[in-house]
Chains A and B, each alone.
Chain A
């Protein structure tokens, strides 16, 4: 579920074509704010994916997340009896969760009284999404929710990966979901100076690595993948997009919001992921960057790439899918891992769009000239977030 549409096909075809999902925001009055754009999931109808009871009781991030999980599960093509549902878990990230719904319900409480608040308000707690996915799909393993800001999906994937690898689960539904476009949060990000103030065509508002980048574009979305132990995937003849092979996470312990400009811990997260995958820096053929379009992220991330890859850094293609999708916050790590897996599967490096004049502090190969056909043996996906967080995931081409 992304600003490029519902489903993986619309995401992949849009990303390869360098299309933007960013539009002028008209869901509420944006005249008080400097930012005027956002990325909403077009043509998303919650009742195509959930019962009306759930549509009414739950917040939009949950609608998006359950819908994405249903599509992922369908795509995985699991037939009854192929997997043990007792050993299949769910681990999903969300940073914002039901904050928007809770804010609205708070207004209703004070304006109209408790009787006008949906009786299921207690279900707006942060852990609802994974259990609703487990209920929807009939899965009886653990149902974890991870709330680590912009690294939430990457952390959720990494933690479930570790459990699958250690034999605690056979299969896991992993990823993240967020629906952060509501006035309280949009306005607060805007006041903080985090959002893009671009006043040209909305499709050009997300400008990672450009000299004139001014912030990220706030987007909603959900990305869900199915990971499973290799022997189970082989036995049931699953279509394998890529092998998830490494995860690393660290904390700068530096600042609530800003990354440590030295990039030491960001680089260490990537090195841990490479080590976990038994790979060397020179094995990485493509990096799907966090690439938000904020002044600090993109220069720090470039520094981190140089720390890890050294003199190889200028030769490794690095692209930001957020240039097309905006920042889906707690879903971004999963959506970008899906793009990285499809990049390996199809042998195509997706581009960065809207790279105008390149920032001298961002001097890598950002694939600004359109998608490239290229065999990718291994790919790295990075996520960095509020709270000094860093997470890295490594994928390899699946052995034939």
Chain B
């Protein structure tokens, strides 16, 4: 539970950096696209930052249905511990 809280906290910080907003505006449940202006490039950058931070690889197609902090968090959790080299790596 504490790990999940810490992950969500850090995720909100990463989203705030990319969207150039105060972190307290990155509330759970708000629409990242409609309410906070996240476009496709910003979504890509947020995913990249999260991948670097949590040492995971998430296929970019997974971004399509994701629109809030919980959605991004779920993606990270799903791919955490999957392990193995990132696709394309040699």
A51–B49 Cα distance when bound, in Å, is: 14
Closest B residue to A56 by beta carbon equals B49
CB 8 Å contact bits of B36-74 with A (1 = contact, 0 = none): 000001001100110100000100100000000000000
Query: Is B48 touching A119 in the complex (CB atoms < 8 A)?
Result: yes
A-B pairs with beta carbons under 8 Å apart, 9 shown: A52-B17, A53-B17, A53-B45, A111-B90, A112-B86, A115-B60, A115-B88, A116-B86, A119-B44
B89 contacts partner chain A, Cβ-Cβ < 8 Å: yes
Query: Is B20 touching A53 in the complex (CB atoms < 8 A)?
Result: yes
Query: Is B18 touching A53 in the complex (CB atoms < 8 A)?
Result: yes
B87 contacts partner chain A, Cβ-Cβ < 8 Å: yes
Query: Is B51 touching A115 in the complex (CB atoms < 8 A)?
Result: yes
Q: How far is the CB of B62 from chain A (nearest CB, A)?
A: 12
Q: How far is the CB of A46 from chain B (nearest CB, A)?
A: 13
Residues of A within 8 A of B (CB): 51-53, 56-57, 110-116, 118-120
Closest 10 CB pairs of A and B: A113-B88, A113-B89, A119-B44, A52-B17, A112-B89, A119-B48, A53-B17, A113-B86, A115-B86, A53-B18
Residues of B within 8 A of A (CB): 17-18, 20, 41, 44-45, 48-49, 51, 57, 60, 86-90
State the total of A-B contacts with C-beta under 8 angstroms: 36
Closest A residue to B17 by beta carbon equals A52
CB contact between A115 and one of B17, B49, B87, B90 (< 8 Å): that residue: B87
Query: Is A119 touching B51 in the complex (CB atoms < 8 A)?
Result: no
CB contact between B89 and one of A56, A111, A119 (< 8 Å): that residue: A111
Given A115-B86, A115-B88, A119-B45, 6 more A-B residue pairs with CB atoms under 8 Å apart are A53-B18, A53-B45, A113-B89, A114-B88, A115-B57, A116-B51
A110–B51 Cα distance when bound, in Å, is: 18
Q: How far is the CB of A175 from chain B (nearest CB, A)?
A: 26
Contact partners of A113 in chain B: CB under 8 A: 86-90
Query: Is B17 touching A51 in the complex (CB atoms < 8 A)?
Result: yes
Closest B residue to A52 by beta carbon equals B17
- With contact pairs A51-B17, A53-B18 given, residues A119 and B87 touching in the complex (Cβ less than 8 Å): no
Q: How far is the CB of A78 from chain B (nearest CB, A)?
A: 23
Q: How far is the CB of B59 from chain A (nearest CB, A)?
A: 8
- With contact pairs A51-B17, A53-B20, A115-B51 given, residues A120 and B86 touching in the complex (Cβ less than 8 Å): no
Query: Is A110 touching B88 in the complex (CB atoms < 8 A)?
Result: no
A120–B64 Cα distance when bound, in Å, is: 19
